[in-house]
Structure 1
Amino acid sequence: MITDAFEVTFVCTGNYYRSRFAEIYFNYRASEYGADQKSRSRGFRLSPFNIGPISPFALERLEVLGIPPSDPPGEPVALTAEDLKTSPRLIALDRREHLPYVRALFPDHEHLFEFWEIGDIDVTTPRIALPKLEASIDELIAEFRQYDSDGD
């Protein structure tokens, strides 16, 4: 079982596409190993132009994988200073895109973030980005499972 010490916050720009997919995928996959839901998602800069609470690309991929989204999906949520205090692991999904936000919004907390390389839709198509994100999350879960089995 994955230990309660590992809560993850996935962060992308708008908390609409990548981070929302990551949250749902992580929680589903972690639950397969007997863990409670351990992740959440946030955004650096929410957009009023997104249609609906979650990207259709994320929903389509979840459907292909047979993973039900939360029902109903909540609205995007902005990352706050409180989130930095309450999440042991903060994963910003694209260094190039998100490091400037971290430096502008949380300049004294850059060291708390782990940066992945999952580009937004203008850089990487969902057909490539989402499977890459799945693989990264699967590796993360394997890391947590290894940590848990080493702690037994």
Structure 2
Amino acid sequence: MESAGSDKTVLFLCTGNYYRSRHAEIVFNHHATVAGLGWRAISRGLALELGVNNVGPMAQATRARLTGLGISHAAYLRLPAPVTDADLTRADLIVALKEAEHRPLLTERHPGWAERTHFWHVHDVDFAVPDVALPQIEDAVLELIRRLGQPE
């Protein structure tokens, strides 16, 4: 589900575009639609080659959590996608899921974009189990939607 016509776009970034950024994208789009917010999310990965254990279109933990939340994800079942300079340029807002992990990748692979990126602090499965990380993403997404919905 890519952004539509006049909607603004938030780009969620993680390393493999398999788990965290995909969850953020789908949860954001669900709640933004419910709220009537003129924003849509897409997600991409900064280093897909590092996801050697990523099998299939999306992490099973992400799919299970979305199912448990009652959020449809069938339309999002695609293979992970690498971020391009065009994705970065088109985004109205860029959010990377973990600063310590993603700032160096952005700096190395997409110079100049780290300074334009908002960083969250959600650990990957090497430091936090999905039962901890996925609710953190949901809370951060809901706070982001609240802020985007406020008058400027």
Q: TM-score, normalised by structure 2?
A: 0.89
| Regions of 4+ moved over 3 Å | none
Instruction: Output the amino acid matched with 1:39.
Output: A
Aligned mates of 1:123, 1:77 — CA distance in 2: 23
Structure 1's 130 and 72: CA in aligned 2 closer, same or farther, altered over 3 A?
Answer: closer
Sequence identity of aligned pairs in percent? Answer: 37
Aligned to 1:34: 36
Q: 1:1-150, aligned counterparts within 5 Å? A: 4=6, 6-35=8-37, 38-46=40-48, 47=51, 49-71=53-75, 73-146=77-150, 150=151
* Structure 2 gap segments, 5+ residues each: 1-5
1:6, distance to aligned residue in structure 2 (A):
3.4
Cα root mean square deviation, aligned: 1.6
* Structure 1 gap segments, 5+ residues each: none
Does structure 1 conserve the Cα–Cα contact (< 8 Å) formed by 2:12 and 2:42?
yes
Aligned mates of 1:5, 1:114 — CA distance in 2: 19
1:138, distance to aligned residue in structure 2 (A):
0.2
Instruction: Output the amino acid matched with 1:134.
Output: E
SS of 2:149 mapped into structure 1: helix
Instruction: Output the amino acid matched with 1:38.
Output: R
